[in-house]
Amino acid sequence: MRVLDTTFARGFIRMADDGWRQGWHECHGGNLSYRLAKEEVKAVEDDLRRERGWTPLSVQAGELAGDHFLVTGSGKFMRNMTLYPSDSFGMIEISDAGDAYRIVWGLTGGGLPTSELAAHLMNQAVKKRKSGGACRVIYHAHPGNIIALSFVLPMKDEIFTRELWEMEPECAMTFPAGMGVIPWMVPGTSEIGELTCRMMEEYDVVLWAQHGIFTAGETFDSAFGLTHTVEKAAEMLMKVISAGGKRNVPSAQDFRDMAEVFGLDLPERFLYEK
Ligand code: 13P
Ligand code: ZN
C-alpha cells in the first residue's frame, strides 16, 4: 500500500491543511508529528526505502526505539501539504538505540524533518509512556490570539488555565488538567523541548510565550480540537479584554458543580478565589 493512500497520511494532511485554513501557519510556521502503529508500518513497507544513512539525534529517544513517525519538513509550508504532500512531509524511523533517525519515505526534494524534531520526539516519548501507547499526535501551531495573550497575561499556568476555562464550559472539558506556559525561549533547541516535555507529564497543551502552542492527542481530531478550543477561548478573551474586561464570570464553585455533573477531575489549584 502507498503511504499517501492510508487513512493516517490522509488524516495528517487534512490536519495540516485545516491549521493553514485557520491562519495558524504563516510561512513555514508550525509542525506536526504522528507515531505510526506497528500494523500501519507493515501495511506500507513496500513503499518505504531503508537505504539512507542515520542522522544522530540531539536527544536520547530510547522509549521510541524502532518507532516510525510522519513529520513535517523544516521550512515546509502547511499551505502546500495538499498539493505537494511527499515533498512537504516524510516518514522517519528511530534507530534501535534511540539515538538516531533516518528518512524512509517522503521529503522528496531533499528536505529535513522539522527544526522542532527534538521537542516533538521528547513530547512523543512522554505521551507514549503516560498514555500506555494511545497518544500518537504532537502538534505545534502559531494561533494569533493565544500568542497575543502571552503579551498581556502573567505567565502562570494557573492564570492562563482559569482565564481560558471561564470563556466556555468546553474549555474545562477539553483540557481539564489545565495548560502549561513557558516564557520566551529560543525555538528549535533541546532546552525548550525538555521544558515542554516536563510540562507534558501533566498537561496536553503548553504555550510558548510570544511564539505558539504545542498540543498532544490520541488522534488528529483530539489534538486539532484541543488547539481549536484553546484558540477560540483566547479569541473571546482578547475581545472581552478589549471591551473593558470581564463583568459576569463563572465562580470557582460553578466549576466544581460542573465537574461533578460531567465527572471531571479539575485540580483545585486552578479554582482559587478571585
Ligand atoms: P520548521 O519549519 O523547522 O518546522 O519550523 C517552524 C516553527 O514553527 C519553528 O518553531
Ligand atoms: Zn514555531
CATH code at 74?
3.40.225.10
Determine, yes or no, domain membership for 137.
Answer: no
Ligand 1 pocket member 114 (CB < 6 A) = yes
pLDDT tens-digit profile of 146-157?
999 999 999 999
pLDDT for res 190: 85
| CA quadruple 102, 34, 180, 28: dihedral sign | positive
Of the listed 40, 93, 116, 231, which one is catalytic?
A: 116
Asked if residue 167 and residue 80 are part of one domain, the reply reads no
Kindly state the percentage of the chain with pLDDT values over 90: 97
Distance (angstroms) between ligand 2 centre and the Cα of 250 equals: 33
Q: Which atom of ligand 1 is nearest to the CA of 115?
A: 3
pLDDT of residue 41: 98
pLDDT number for residue 272: 96
The residue whose CA is least distant from atom 10 of ligand 1 is: 187
How many other CB atoms sit within 10 Å of the CB of residue 131?
14
Say if ligand 1 is within 6 A of residue 123 CB: no
Q: What is the tally of structural domains in the chain?
A: 2
Domain that holds residue 250: 143-274
Q: In this structure, what C-alpha cell is assigned to residue 190? A: 533541546
The reply to whether 164 and 224 lie within a common domain is: yes
For β-strands 212-217 and 55-56, DSSP reports them as: unpaired
Q: Considering only CA atoms, which of 176, 145, 142 is closest in space to residue 240?
A: 145
Instruction: Provide φ and ψ at 76, rounded to 5°.
Output: -85, 150
What pTM, to 2 d.p., does this model score?
A: 0.97
Reduced DSSP (H G I as helix, E B as strand, rest coil) percent helix, strand, coil of the chain, to 5:
45, 15, 40
Residue 123 lies in a domain: no
160 and 258 belong to one structural domain? yes
28 and 107 share a domain? yes
133 Ramachandran zone, left/alpha/beta (phi>0; psi -120 to 50): left
Residues 274 and 154 in one domain: yes
N- to C-terminal Cα distance for the chain? 57
Q: Kindly report the protein residue whose alpha carbon is nearest to atom 4 of ligand 1.
A: 114
Residue pair 161/231 in contact (Cβ under 8 Å)? The answer is: no
In this prediction, residue 56 carries a pLDDT of: 97
9 and 111 fall within a common domain: yes
pLDDT tens-digit profile of 166-197? 999 999 999 999 999 999 999 988 899 999 99
Q: Are residues 172 and 81 part of one domain?
A: no
Catalytic annotation on 168? Answer: no
Compute the distance from residue 215 Cα to the ligand 2 centre, in Å: 12
Within-domain flag for 235: yes
147 lies in the same domain as 271: yes
10 in the same domain as 91: yes
Residue 40 covered by a domain: yes
Whether residues 84 and 24 fall in one domain:
yes
